[in-house]
Structure 1
Amino acid sequence: MTATDRVLLAYKRIAEVDRPEVWIALRDEAEVLAEAASLAEDLPLYGMLVAVKDNIDVAGLPTTAACPEFSYDPAEDATVVARLRAAGALVLGKTNLDQFATGLVGTRSPHGAVRHAHDPEKISGGSSSGSATAVALGIVDVALGTDTAGSGRVPAAFASLVGIKPTLGLVPNTGVVPACVDYDAVTVFADDTATAATVMSVMIGPDAADPRSRSWPATVPLAAPPRPRVGVPRLEDLVALCPEYAEAFARTVTGLDAAGIDHDVVDISPLLDAAVLLYDGATVAQRYAAVGEFLSTGRATADPTVEAIVLGARTPTAHAYVDDLSTLLAAKSYAATLLDGLDGLLLPTTTEHPTIAAVQADPMGINRRLGTFTNFCNLLDMAAVAVPGAPTTAGAPFGVMVVGPAFSDQVVLDLAALVAGDRPAVVVDEGVDVLVVGAHLRGFPLNGQLVERGARFLGEVSTSADYRLVDLGTTPPKPGLVRHGSASIAGELYRMAPAHLGTFLAALPAPMGLGPVTLSDGRQVIGFMCAADAAEAGTDITEFGGWRAYMADRGL
């Protein structure tokens, strides 16, 4: 399908669903069609349709953060929007949100409450309400949200979507209206992990204009282990769940073994205690720093709940703020200890799915409950991916999320894909490709050295027809790959973080080493080689075509 065809279908779908509250500003169809016609078809996101939360700048459309009086006309796209457009994506428009990204309900907007895509009596979840609903209604392929307290995850749970909330700073916030500037993250909603990860990977990367932006560390893990282990909360940590969600979470946990995941029951109460500080502690002062002076002028059509939260955030003292930061550091240390030996935490995304009427009757209390399991994540500098869990017994959507430490984005994505039954997806597409041909192959004794370094298995490969293989006669048995042969040797290709390649090389015993190897498709990668004198003393096993076949022939 061409980009033009996709645009025509999208505008047809907008008319069919008749949900004007989803959008704050919609681009003219003819303008988008003209842009679609000019796209090069070889672009990685060619023709992908995107909705953008209206606290993220899109050149040519006003940014309002759901407050008409706050409106301004940005001269250029936010960095994330510019990166998506450069990759071939098409922006349809700006979506409704809880005003100034303050809320998890999707009802705090002068443009009206954004109704759930398939149950209009219920909330869509906020603050990224319009973005999630635009995906759930089948209008766009992906949508951008923001997440400070859970706004990129709670709407995903209600709509059975994937919501990726990256490590803070990996996606720059240049051109994004801040909510709590130290704890804001741009997020992606999509129907599946692969689509969400593809879009997220395009947006990731430092930006000199954002002093809080960050790069992947040289030790970034590139994969979850083959049989990962997660922590799940104790029953006493789940008391906020409504009965339907408690039952659905229990069934999700029961299904982990079949998904290839082990689990331990852990105490997350210190994390839940830290979560309270986002709204009930001095850190809420960041919300006043963002838009408090503007709201203090009285010029705004302000949502009463949003106004109360933001203007109330000017009262905390500096020493109370420092005390909260110390409390958060202690909670962050606890989280690191808790995750030692685990690959992530599996948590319910939220506690219940209320009606719009219930939220209007209790706007603060319900909102606070909805953030029970999401609020601590950014405060403690953690990565998270929200995916559908087991539905309730009534068949209603229920969402879970996998949470891990900063820069564990690929690991939690791998785990989330397993939980959701999705195909694997890649969000960290960088590192060094390493060929192994012997004891580091899957199922052999030294493969754990790759696993513990977070290396990602890329597939089975073979060398060009210029090599030979010898059995070095070592314990444990391992081969040596030698140049200047006349055969293609089978192996496996892994991707490893750059810093781990150095530790890998340092651990290799003589006569092994790493050097350039040419694959059968012409690519050059780093691979295991051995010294020429050791090869001469070994037994030539080239005729077997690889170590696995040779060991099978020996019955090993």
Structure 2
Amino acid sequence: MNLFLFDDDTVPLPPVTTSQAVQRVLSVFDALARGLGPAPPVRLRCREDVLMDAKAVDERVRAGERMSLVGILVAAPEVPVVAERLAQAGAVVAGHTVPGAPSPGSEVRLETLSKLDALLVTEPPASCRGVVGFVPTRGLLPASGSGITTVLARDAAVAQRVAAAVTGPDPRTTSAGFSRHWPDSVRLSAGEHPRIAVPDRAFLAELGRVEAARLAATADTLSVAGATTHEVELHGAGGLCRKRAAVALGDHEALLLPLGTGLCSLTRLATRLDTAAVLLPTRDGGGVGLLAKPFDDQVVLDLAGLLTGSQASTPYPDVGVRLIAFGSYLRGQPRAADLERVGARFTGFATTSRHYRLLLIEHDPPEAGVVPANRPSEGGPLVGEEWLLSPAALGEFVARLPSPMRLGTVELADGTSAPAILCDPSVAERSVDLTAWECWRAYLRHLSAVRPVAARAGS
């Protein structure tokens, strides 16, 4: 059973058109007049001020400016740099969240958002009904007090986009105690088969029947989606629980946890360990959480995408180096794990110009290599995959490339160029040319088709 499929999913907001920001602001204040406004943790700004901000967004849209948060209504802590970054991204700050809200043990419901799209609060809630919570690594978002900021939204993609818009230290703050930058080795993907730590049976036995079943069902859903799950011992008082959770994260991409206020709940551990986390509502009215190592924010966002189907189009952070892969480095092929091991993210397919050759390299198992064509008549367009890696990850990956593979540059069909996994041109003299197939997978499909025919003919 998938606990994350909602029968009453909200209809996605349509693309923003002229004056839509103003219309949405008017609808919020109209709802307030009818008693349907945001919950007490939100203190709305003056109606006229919010309308002026909305009109400014509409003017920017009419002028052709592209912004990542156009049409998004947000309530955020009263931190100037946060408001400025949200406005720059096209969001309208309709109000301010009260410091310290939600309080420990509180529950956030979908109704809390009312007509708003996202809330930025200083503490993760103990429960969320219909609301996704994203807790970025401590120090990435400008924040006062504890330095922990949670983005609550209707889905994970909106939460990620809002967090991305405000990420970065406040340049006007003299104290850098809670300010951190992305490391050069940041992982940009959870990979095809992430390793997930799940609580052992002894821990589940301490939970209520419904909560234990919820965690078990979530683990099953992750397994079906391609993740591998491993039971870990968690139960224990206070610091022991935190130590066991930290050890589990050392060997896994994420740790599945219940929400709530217990010693080993995600809500408690996210405020006491250096981590990134997501809180996910389930269809039965409850919720579960996923905890990851610091700066593995995209890892938990990918897992949220596996469970809910909501995934932003760009990673968090939206940085990295393009790399074009061919042959055995394509997804599902033997060496694709080398890319996933360094946190590389598949971003789509790419086609080269007609200046390259695809060669069969007689290894065990056989693989393909790409070399520049000596003459235009020898080459052809080749289909590869585009991946995104952090700079340090690219260096680590290249350092482990086996012979005869090497890092090079290819010209793509769209006129751009990008780093690519090529092979030493010297192998061309002793390799079979596969350029006519244009793609390693096409050649493999050909082999899978002709081998059964050959086998039947031999019999």
Q: TM-score, normalised by structure 2?
A: 0.82
1:513 corresponds to 2:401: no
2:144 is aligned with 1:256: no
Find the aligned partners of 2:321 and 2:128 in 1 and give their Cα distance.
39
CA contact (8 A) 2:119 2:151 kept: yes
Match 1:502 to one of 395, 418, 424: 395
Task: State yes or no: 1:167 paired with 2:137.
Answer: yes
Q: Secondary structure at the match of 1:255?
A: helix
Does the residue aligned with 2:270 lie in a helix, a strand or coil?
helix
Could you list the per-position Cα deviations for residues 196-234 of structure 1 after superposition, in whole angstroms to 9, with x for gaps in the alignment? Answer: 111112222244425131111122111112122312223
Residue aligned with 2:363, SS: coil
Q: Deviations over 1:235-270 (max 9, x none)?
A: 433466444433433433343333333322211135
2:351 to 431, 438, 462: 462
2:239 aligns to what?
A: 274
Cα distance in 2 for residues equivalent to 1:14 and 1:439 = 58
1:337 aligned onto 2:361 = no
CA distance change for structure 1 residues 250 and 442 in 2, over 3 Å: closer, same or farther? closer
Letter matched to residue 249 of structure 1:
L
Shift of 1:342: 2.1
Aligned to 1:440: 329
Superposition pairs for residues 38-49 of structure 1, below 5 Å? 38-39=56-57, 40-41=60-61, 42-49=66-73
Do structure 1's residue 381 and structure 2's residue 269 form an aligned pair? no
Give a deviation string over 1:496-555, Cα, whole Å, max 9, x none: 121121121111233321122222223322102233333344332211111111232233
C-alpha change, 1:12 and 1:517, in structure 2 (3 Å) is farther
1:346 shift after superposition: 0.8
The residue that corresponds to 2:93 in the other structure is 91
Q: Figure out how many residues of one structure are paired with residues of the other and give that number.
A: 417
SS at match of 1:216: coil
Alpha-carbon shift at residue 415 of structure 1 (Å): 1.3
Q: SS at the partner of 2:342? A: coil
Matched to 1:16, the amino acid is R
Matched, 1:195 2:171: no
Deviations 1:100-130 (A, max 9, x none): 4583245xxxxxxxxxxxxxxxxx45xxx9x
- Output the CA distance in 2 between the equivalents of 1:24 and 1:197: 21
Query: For 2:39 and 2:69, how far apart are their aligned partners in 1?
Result: 27
Deviations 1:41-70 (A, max 9, x none): 221111211012xxx225xxxxxxxxxxxx
**Aligned residue in 2 for 1:217:** 183
Q: CA deviation at 1:401?
A: 0.5
**Offset of 1:96 from its aligned partner?**
4.2
1:348 aligns with 2:258: yes
Structure 2 distance, partners of 1:261, 1:341, is 14
Structure 2 vs 1, CA of residues 235 and 529 (structure 1 numbering), >3 Å: closer, same or farther? closer
Aligned in 2, Cα 1:44/1:469: closer, same or farther, shift over 3 Å?
A: same
Report the Cα offset of residue 456 of structure 1.
0.9
Structure 1 residue 340, shift from structure 2 partner: 4.1
Measure the CA separation in 2 of the matches of 1:251 and 1:24: 34
Letter in 2 for 1:514: L
Assess, with a 3 A threshold, how the Cα gap between structure 1 residues 542 and 481 changes in structure 2: closer, same or farther.
Answer: same
Q: Which amino acid aligns with 1:406?
A: P
Structure 2 unaligned residues grouped into runs of 5+: 1-15, 452-459
Does residue 451 of the first structure (1) align with residue 340 of the second (2)? yes
Give 1:383-402 correspondences, 5 Å limit.
383-391=276-284, 397-402=285-290
Contact 1:470 1:480 in 2 (8 A): yes
1:419 counterpart = 2:288: no
Aligned residue type for 2:130? S
Partner of 2:360: 471
- Contact kept? 2:325, 2:420, Cα under 8 Å: yes
- 2:210 and 2:247 map into 1 onto residues whose CA distance is 31
Q: Does 1:57 align with 2:90?
A: no
| Cα deviation, residue 424, structure 1 | 5.9
Question: What residue identity is the alignment partner of 1:415?
Answer: L
Q: Which amino acid aligns with 2:21?
A: A
1:143 maps onto 2:133 in alignment:
no
C-alpha displacement at 1:410, in angstroms?
0.8
How big is each residue's C-alpha offset from its partner over 1:122-174, in whole Å with a ceiling of 9 and x where there is no partner? xx45xxx9xx7542x2x111111112xxxx242xx33221100111111122x
2:25 and 2:74 map into 1 onto residues whose CA distance is: 11
Q: Contact 2:266/2:290 (CA < 8 Å) preserved in 1?
A: no
Contact kept, 8 Å, 2:259 with 2:288, in 1: the verdict is: yes
Q: What's the secondary structure of 2:185's corresponding residue?
A: coil
Aligned-pair RMSD on alpha carbons? 2.7
Q: State the partner residue of 2:212.
A: 246
User: CA offsets, 1:166-195, max 9 Å, x none?
Assistant: 11111122xx2x1xx4xx311211111111
